[in-house]
Structure 1
Amino acid sequence: MSKIPTLLTIVGLTLALTACGSSDSPDATDAAAASSPAAECTASGSLSDSVKVTGDFGAPLEISIDAPLEPTTSQRTVAIEGEGTDTAKEGSIVEMAITVYNAKTDELVQPTTYSTDGASLVIGINDTSTLLPGIVRAANCAVEGDRIVTVSPAADAFTDQGTTGVAAGEPVIFVMDVITVIENVPTQASGADQPAEGGFPTVALADDGAPTITIPATDALTDLKISTLKKGNGGVVTDGASVAVAYTGALWATGETFDSSWGRADYSLFPTNGVIAGFTEALVGQTVGSQVLAVIPPEFGYGEEGTQGISGTDTLVFVIDILAVAGGPEA
């Protein structure tokens, strides 16, 4: 398991939308088999069409629900058609403002602030292991400017566990305003090579961009150190933005790789303020397309308590490819 997400502080909507059902549930398995998140666009239906939403895109909405609604599969209606040119597909990133209702009781479960400081949710269209399947399926095929109304059964939402405002087995309604679609996310940093800095570990790259880290035969650096290996020319990563990265982490003491996204997924997506402090420092202010090398002492990593496989005295070394950024102020 990745060591980065163990430091995530997930609150509010992200916590509410984190997948909480077992993939062994027959209903969930059947639904996933019938409608893979990126296999095809989720079709509209009489239930999603029946939900009437008014209000301007990107502003608080009013909704009329002829509850109770009892969907057997997710239905998706585009209430406002956007004019974006990029279309979400498997591997894309979608930034949205999202509101959640209970489809049985018509009660508001989770409002959105429509904040100018960023969207309420940024997701990757890849699989349904980290977010509710109904959310991923609703965002698939979206374009910027869409307002999408989705009615999902419990199997695509909170299954038999429920959440605050949604009892076990109850269906939900998602209303999402699609702010940004990043259709194609690069698989590795593409920036210009920068001169190597002395005293840092060295990095060799495979043909696919996967790094191998070699630790020097010296004591670990005691300060947080960040070196830019490749300088990209994309957007700047701001504090609070969500960033798609490929990364490898090694221990200075042994040179052992303790975590790597390479070979596991095309990218990992998380907010800059949801990871260890040293990782945040390595991201904020950098540009998309860059590759950075970060040497992170314990006080900027997992602290005196450490975590699985990492002691309270371990200095960490990360190589991070910054592939895309969404959300956050002026991202």
Structure 2
Amino acid sequence: MRTRPLAVLSFAALSVLVLAGCSASSTDAEATPTPTATDSSCLLDAQPGDDSDQITVAGEAPELDASVPEGLAFADIQRTVVTEGTGDDLYVGDLVSGAYQFFDGASGELLEDSTVTSPDDSGMVPMLLDASSYSVFVAALECEPLGSTAALTIPGSAFGDDGTSVVLVAQGVEKLPTVATGDDVAPTDGFPTVELADDGAPTVTLPEGEDPPSKTEIAQLKQGDGATVKEGDTVFVQYTGVKWSDGSVFDSSWDRGAPSAFPTTGVVQGFKQALEGQKVGSQVIAVIPPADGYGEGDINEDDLVGETLVFVVDILATQRAVSQ
């Protein structure tokens, strides 16, 4: 498997380039706000230019067919909305299904077509407008109506001194739920109990006076009927993690206000086990001992070594890995 190119560009790099290219703006790049989930503001709002205006796009998601001409200047980040949709405007934190194509700017070579990573027959893939991990989708789709197709040109300097300029063409088609939508499953005896707030955020209560299990245990709270998560997939989730030692929350996508995405091969073994084989729409609870978490050792406040961890995970979407 190779690294998905869409996940390598930082929000900071995008911000600096966009702000530098906005001649009408006096905003200092150093003053760029920390990216947070929002439903009413634009973080980048990239503008059209001579480069992005030359990208042509035929078809609609999932069968986009873009063409990148030779000789583009790639002076700054530019975005041209090729076709405008009719849905609600998209903002950071939104999760949508749609399609994209990713091109080498120098050669015009197609580097990645989302149709080959779709987990089902629809040909669609999930796209998360996440400024920290998938900032290219923020730059391409934010503050435009759902259904729009955008062409984004990014200079190689955004990727470092030896970076290659790239072009992203993307279309968001449908907003995806940000909570598990599967059918409720009866609680499993011996597991922590879970109560859901109106927005879907879980509160975990540990069983009193019981020792944690010696091996990873997983139970379903909701049974989905979507695509099955496979090894190496990038999975889009909401989750809360709790320490068995004191019941405190140590990490939660809910607290950040938006879903998270990561490959199943990029998390601790117990979390990986909780994801793979599950269907989209499911909610699972996993109790993970140190051996499948962050390792054995003395428990302290500074890390998760020695901790048994409890995760409640809503599985929202999945995308297949790109093959070599």
The normalised TM-score by structure 2 is 0.70
Residue 263 of structure 1 aligns to a residue whose secondary structure is helix
Contact kept? 1:296, 1:317, Cα under 8 Å: yes
Task: Give the CA deviation at 1:135.
Answer: 4.0
Does residue 1:240 correspond to 2:240, yes or no?
no
Which deviations, in whole Å up to 9, do the C-alpha atoms of 1:139-186 show, x marking residues without a partner?
Answer: 344877x874322468xx72xx725424xxxxx4413355x7441423
User: Per-residue CA shift, 1:284-324, capped at 9, x if unaligned?
Assistant: 222333221101112222234799844432211111122x2
Change (3 A) 1:307 1:27: farther
8 Å Cα contact 1:232/1:287 also seen in 2: yes
The correspondence for 1:128, drawn from 103, 118, 131, is: 131
Kindly provide the amino acid, as one letter, of the partner of residue 63 in structure 1.
Answer: V
The structure 2 residue matched to 1:202, chosen from 177, 190, 193, is 193
Q: Cα offset for 1:108?
A: 6.4
State how far apart, in whole Å, the 1-side matches of 2:86 and 2:275 are.
28
Following the alignment from structure 2 to structure 1, what is the Cα–Cα distance between the partners of residues 16 and 65?
Answer: 37
Counting aligned pairs with the same residue, the percent is 32
Provide structure 2 residue ranges, at least 5 long, that are not aligned to the other structure: 22-26, 34-39, 120-124
Matched, 1:225 2:223: no
Q: Gapped runs of 5+ residues in structure 1? A: 1-8, 167-171
Aligned pair count reads 297
RMSD: 4.3
Task: Tell me if structure 2 keeps the 8 A contact 1:16–1:163.
Answer: no
Please give the secondary structure, in 2, of the residue aligned with 1:262.
helix
Write the distance in 1 (CA, Å) between the matches of 2:86 and 2:267. Answer: 32
1:36 & 1:206 partners in 2: Cα distance?
26
Structure 2 CA distance for aligned equivalents of residues 16 and 24 of structure 1:
16
Cα 1:287/1:54, change in 2 over 3 Å: closer
State how 1:1-331 maps to structure 2 within 5 Å. Answer: 11-19=3-11, 21=13, 27=20, 37=42, 44-51=48-55, 63-71=68-76, 74-78=78-82, 89-90=90-91, 91-94=94-97, 96-102=99-105, 106=106, 111-112=111-112, 116-118=116-118, 123-125=127-129, 127-132=130-135, 134-140=136-142, 141=144, 148-152=150-154, 158=158, 162=160, 164-166=162-164, 172-176=165-169, 178=171, 181-186=173-178, 188-216=179-207, 217-304=209-296, 309-322=302-315, 324-328=316-320
Contact 2:55 2:67 (C-alpha < 8 Å) held by counterparts: no
**SS of match in other structure, 2:68:** strand
Q: TM-score, normalised by structure 1?
A: 0.69
Q: Distance in 2 between matches of 1:27 and 1:113?
A: 30
Once structures 1 and 2 are overlaid, which stretch shifts more, 237-246 or 298-307? 298-307
Amino acid at match of 2:132: S
